[in-house]
């Protein structure tokens, strides 16, 4: 298989290792470059040599002097070649950070302006301070705690929070409650992130379910009112998509025409690659390493979002408990699906629809997706089979990994 590795020199080697080790063959190999450096280094140490670029060393225990001279000569030659090639080719710039309770990566292919990445990361922080359910300083936390309510119990929220609540309520209505943003009383009982999760007490779950009903969330513009005391909102199923869309708007406003925004698996493409070809976005193999894919789709300017039971889960007494909870029972869905991937224009739609379609199950989920314009989906069932929405392969180019 022939691979097109962006960049040059040692970075090509690192990307090649990533692709050969993970069978990824897609553009997320570039975005995961920083996070994979330590893994790659450990592999290279076994050859009794350590390659250095930045904090990667080239050091031969027996030929250190020769290595230094060789590197010096290579640097001169490489510098000349790179200088000559620079007008035609430049490495992308990338920023990776732990935000939004996940690892996020933004890669820009057609600019070397680091300030754009810095400002994009700062924008993520701003939205996290609005949408976080657990941070006491966030606007959503204050809404749930009643700190924004007036004497009549009506809370006035920001435009961003109002927009996201409206989006969440629309998908709750579309699914007739199979997806419900008022599930916070239930989701707060479950711990899928610490690695020490346990099944909550049944009586607590049953009591919390009584407070879950999107129809009791009343919205009038920026004013929010809960119909029951103790109701709370959890916007985690739509927030990353909303933030990705805002990040794309920001990048475009700064003149960026080629980029990938990856918010912990929520991938949104800005345009296409600088050479005019589509980005290749991998579809993760359920329960495999995050960098192991079973297929790749060619995407220009669209969003690819997956929801699956392999993302956050724990096992207790031989039973797997995952984070996609049924609002009507308070326990994880058990419908034979392992993941749903949505391809859409807006990432917030992909976010909302991936969870909604998963909650509806294979048959009703496919029926919903097939009724919507400009949306495609891949459903993966527990037996490993892939199920596609209507006309998927006519509208999306997909290749499969061996």
CATH (domain of 372): 3.10.520.10
At residue 27, the pLDDT reads 66
In a domain, 1, yes or no: no
In a domain, 117, yes or no: no
The domain boundary residue, chosen from 214, 236, 258? 236
| Domain identity same for 216 and 277 | no
| Domain identity same for 176 and 320 | no
| Domain identity same for 224 and 157 | yes
**Pair 199, 321: CB distance under 8 Å:** yes
| Domain identity same for 102 and 247 | yes
Task: Compute CA distances 269 → 102, 120, 143, 257, 281, whole Å.
Answer: 19, 15, 32, 10, 9
In a domain, 121, yes or no: no
| Domain identity same for 45 and 63 | yes
Number of domains in the chain: 3
In a domain, 20, yes or no: yes
In a domain, 153, yes or no: yes
| Domain identity same for 228 and 137 | yes
In a domain, 4, yes or no: no
Instruction: Tell me the per-residue pLDDT of 318-339, one tens digit each, with 9 for 90 and over.
Output: 999 999 999 999 999 999 999 9
Determine the Cα–Cα distance for residues 147 and 225; give it in Å rounded to an integer. 12
At residue 139, the pLDDT reads 98
At residue 152, the pLDDT reads 95
**Pair 243, 150: CB distance under 8 Å:** no
The domain boundary residue, chosen from 236, 266, 296? 236
- CATH number of the domain that 159 lies in? 1.10.3980.10
| Domain identity same for 299 and 335 | yes
Instruction: Tell me the per-residue pLDDT of 31-86, one tens digit each, with 9 for 90 and over.
Output: 444 444 433 333 333 333 333 333 333 333 333 334 433 434 444 333 333 333 34
| Domain identity same for 395 and 369 | yes
Instruction: Tell me the per-residue pLDDT of 194-250, one tens digit each, with 9 for 90 and over.
Output: 888 889 999 999 999 999 999 999 999 999 999 999 999 999 999 999 999 999 999
Q: Which residues span the domain enclosing 174?
A: 126-236
| Domain identity same for 20 and 150 | no
The domain boundary residue, chosen from 219, 236, 253? 236
In a domain, 347, yes or no: yes
| Domain identity same for 232 and 247 | no
At residue 364, the pLDDT reads 97
In a domain, 119, yes or no: no
**Pair 138, 126: CB distance under 8 Å:** no
Q: Which residues contact 312 (CB under 8 A, 6 or more apart)?
A: 192, 193, 322, 323
For the sheet containing 155-156, what is the strand order? 155-156, 223-226, 217-220
Q: Kindly indicate the confidence band of residue 7, based on its pLDDT and cuts at 50, 70 and 90.
A: very low
| Domain identity same for 47 and 97 | no
Q: Of 216, 255, 239, 13, which Cα lies nearest the Cα of 131?
A: 239
Q: Kindly indicate the confidence band of residue 26, based on its pLDDT and cuts at 50, 70 and 90.
A: low
| Domain identity same for 386 and 256 | yes
* Residue whose tokens read 């992909």: 350
């Amino acid at each position: 298989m022939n691979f097109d590795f962006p960049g040059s020199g040692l970075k090509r080697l690192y990307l090649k290792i990533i692709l050969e080790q993970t069978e990824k063959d897609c553009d997320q190999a570039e975005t995961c470059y920083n996070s994979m450096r330590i893994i790659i280094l450990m592999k290279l140490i076994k050859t009794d040599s350590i390659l250095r670029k930045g904090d990667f060393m080239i050091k031969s225990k027996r030929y250190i002097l020769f290595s230094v001279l060789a590197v010096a000569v290579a640097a001169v030659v490489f510098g000349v070649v790179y200088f000559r090639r620079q007008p035609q080719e430049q490495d992308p710039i990338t920023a990776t950070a732990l935000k939004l309770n996940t690892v996020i990566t933004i890669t820009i292919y057609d600019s070397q302006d680091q300030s754009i990445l810095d400002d994009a990361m700062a924008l993520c922080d701003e939205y996290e301070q609005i949408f976080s359910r657990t941070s006491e300083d966030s606007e959503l936390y204050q809404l749930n705690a009643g700190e924004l309510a007036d004497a009549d119990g009506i809370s006035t929220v920001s435009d961003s929070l109002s927009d996201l609540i409206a989006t969440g309520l629309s998908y709750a209505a579309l699914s007739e409650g199979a997806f419900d943003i008022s599930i916070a009383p239930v989701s707060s009982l479950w711990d899928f992130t610490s690695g020490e999760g346990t099944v909550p007490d049944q009586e607590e779950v049953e009591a919390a379910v009584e407070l879950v009903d999107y129809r009791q969330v009343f919205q009038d513009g920026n004013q929010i009112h809960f119909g029951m005391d103790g109701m709370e909102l959890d916007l985690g199923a739509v927030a990353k998509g909303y933030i990705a869309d805002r990040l794309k708007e920001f990048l475009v406003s700064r003149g960026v025409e080629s980029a990938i925004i990856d918010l912990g698996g929520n991938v949104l493409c800005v345009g296409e690659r600088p050479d005019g070809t589509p980005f290749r976005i991998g579809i993760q193999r359920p329960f495999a390493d995050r960098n192991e894919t079973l297929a790749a789709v060619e995407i220009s300017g669209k969003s690819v979002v997956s929801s699956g039971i392999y993302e956050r889960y724990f096992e207790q007494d031989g039973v797997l408990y995952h984070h996609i909870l049924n609002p009507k029972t308070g326990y994880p869905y058990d419908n034979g699906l392992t993941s749903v991937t949505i391809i859409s224009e807006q990432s917030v739609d992909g976010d909302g629809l991936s969870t909604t379609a998963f909650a509806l199950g294979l048959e009703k989920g496919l029926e919903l997706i097939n009724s919507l314009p400009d949306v495609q989906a891949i459903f993966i069932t527990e037996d490993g089979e892939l199920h596609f929405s209507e006309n998927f392969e006519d509208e999306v180019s997909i290749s499969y990994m061996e």
